[in-house]
A = this chain, B = another copy of it.
């Protein structure tokens, strides 16, 4: 599949409407609940609009380097607009705001930094070794998580995510207490993962708290993503970890490596986490937590 005819590129396409406004269509294939687009997908749509705006302003900044996003309301699929504002066009990097508006309501607000990532370079220095994983064939796709068991379009149709079976105890009601999900990512159509698509990848896993305890959904309040390099062709590896659960909030960190073992994307998010009465943490922990 050519990158410019991939499901991702079609699903995140935007069209200039003038005055920094871009039109988009939020696709059914990018949902996690009935008709509810995935947060990483929405961020990628905002990123696409920000890149179009930066280009329209004459910036040679074809990549989103950093993105902060607040999920304000959960939009429906269908027509949407993205309003962009240029904060600064710089030499190394440019800074923009973008807002996704659906049915006249703000749905997602983002701050984006754009620039140019070199291709084929290695890190100058790094302290984040790649996650160890069984072979992709030995990893498992998740069964449908839809509450009523009905099969609907969802990101499972476009994202082929395979998890290390060792972290999937939660599927049988036995979270392993590690608060860590690990797995492989590739697009179902085998399209190359562009730097822009990494904004989708960092939010393509279920909450890492699934591997900690049985709780309800864990809605993201605030997400930050950094894109560090252009991935080489091949499947990506991802690790998604919860760090601290305190007073109804949890922070989760994602790291993504390409087939050349390079860290290509990172994210951190703060999510609300309601813990049902009677659910205890997996281990008694000292105030500061166990050794990481």
Contacts and interface: CB of A to CB of B under 8 A. Distances in A.
Interface residues of A, number: 67
A68 B224 contact: yes
Copy count, this protein chain: 2
A125 B257 CA distance: 27
Contacts of A288: 126, 128-130, 257, 261-263
B262 A287 contact: yes
Interface in A256-289: 257, 260-263, 266, 268, 270, 272, 275, 281-282, 285-289
Contacts of A109: 87, 95, 97, 111
Interface of A: 65-66, 68, 70, 72-73, 87-88, 92-93, 95, 97, 106, 109, 111, 113, 117-118, 121-130, 179, 212-213, 221-222, 224, 226, 228-229, 241-249, 251, 257, 260-263, 266, 268, 270, 272, 275, 281-282, 285-292
Given A70-B111, A126-B246, A127-B242, 19 more contacts: A66-B221, A70-B113, A93-B272, A111-B111, A117-B247, A121-B246, A122-B287, A124-B245, A125-B242, A125-B281, A125-B285, A126-B244, A126-B285, A129-B288, A222-B226, A228-B244, A251-B266, A261-B288, A262-B287
